[in-house]
A and B are shown apart, each in its own frame.
Chain A
Amino acid sequence: MRAFKVFLAIAAAFILLVQSRTASIAAGLIGGTAHDFTLEDISGKTHSLGDYKGRVVFIDFWASWCPPCKKEFPEINAMLKAYEGADVVGIAVNIDKKRSHAEDFLRGVGALSKNLVVLLDPESAAIRHYNALTMPTSYILDKSGVVRFVHFGYNESDAQKWKQEIDRLLKE
C-alpha cells in the first residue's frame, strides 16, 4: 500500500513537471518577437515572415505524416476563408522531407483560402526556433510580429479559440 502511494506521488510529480514545462515554454515565447524565416512556397516563390508585418499572422507547423495536423489543416483553411479581405494571413509551414507528400495531401484539401500561404521547410529549419513541443503547433502573432498565443497540438475546440484570439488582435 505504501509503495503504491509512493508510485502515485512520483507519477503526479512527473505529470506536474511535464505540464509546468509546457506552460513555461509557452510563456517564454509569448511576448517575444517571432523568429523571422524565409521559405519557398509550392510554386517556388520566396516568402519571409517579415513580409507580413502589419497583419495578424497565424503560423502553423504541420506535416502529412501527423494525423492531428491533417485534421487541423482543413479547419485552418476554413477559418482563414472567413478572414479573406481582413488583415489576417495564415502561414502553414510544412516540414515533410518530400514535397510530394505535402502536395498529395493538399490535393485532397481542395481550394485554399486566399490568405493562406503554404511554405515548404524540408530541413525543419524554422520550427527549431519556435520550441514546438508537439505536432502540430500554432502561433498567433500580432501586427508587430510579437507572439501572442501558442497552441501545442490540436483539439476540435481550437478553431473557436483561434477566432477569438485573432478578433482580439485585429481590434488592437
Chain B
Amino acid sequence: MRKRVFILILLLGIAAVSGCARVKPWEREYLADPIMQLDYNKEEKAVREHFLGTREGSAGSFGVSGGGCGCN
C-alpha cells in the first residue's frame, strides 16, 4: 500500500514538473524586474498595511493594529 502511495506521489510530481518551462538566462530581464516582487515598493506596502489595519481594526498577517481613520 505504502509503495503504491509512493509511486502515486512520484507520478504526480513528474506530471507537475512537466508543466515547468526552462527560461534561458538571457530571457530573464522581465522576471528580474523589481515589479515582479510581491513587496517591491516598501513604502507603498507600509501605507497599504497601515490603511488596511486601521480600517479593518483587526490583526492581519502583517501585525496588530487598533482602529482609526488610517490617515496618519
Query: Is the pairing of A and B real?
Result: yes
Whole-angstrom distance between the Cβ of A22 and the nearest chain B Cβ: 12
| Contact, CB under 8 Å: B25 / A135 | yes
Interface readout for A121-140 with B: 1 if CB under 8 Å, 0 if not? Answer: 00010011000111101000
Which residue of chain A has its CB nearest to the CB of B25? A135
We find that the number of chain B residues with CB closer than 8 angstroms to chain A is: 9
> Contact residue range for chain A?
10 to 19
Residues from chain A with Cβ under 8 Å of B27 in the complex: 124
Give residues 84-113 of A contacting B (CB, 8 Å): 95-97
Docked complex Cα distance between A124 and B29 (Å): 11
Give residues 8-67 of B contacting A (CB, 8 Å): 24-29, 32-33
Docked complex Cα distance between A47 and B68 (Å): 64
Which residue of chain B has its CB nearest to the CB of A64? B29
Whole-angstrom distance between the Cβ of A123 and the nearest chain B Cβ: 10
| Contact, CB under 8 Å: A137 / B29 | no
Query: Does A61 lie at the interface of the complex (its beta carbon under 8 Å from any beta carbon of B)?
Result: yes
Whole-angstrom distance between the Cβ of A103 and the nearest chain B Cβ: 16
Which residue of chain A has its CB nearest to the CB of B9? A3
Docked complex Cα distance between A66 and B6 (Å): 40
With a 10 A CB-CB cut-off, give which of B28, B29, B32 has the most chain A CB atoms. Answer: B29
Docked complex Cα distance between A61 and B29 (Å): 13
Query: Does A37 lie at the interface of the complex (its beta carbon under 8 Å from any beta carbon of B)?
Result: no
| Contact, CB under 8 Å: B26 / A97 | no
Which residue of chain B has its CB nearest to the CB of A2? B2
Q: List 5 A-B contacts (CB under 8 A).
A: A6-B6, A66-B28, A96-B29, A132-B24, A133-B25
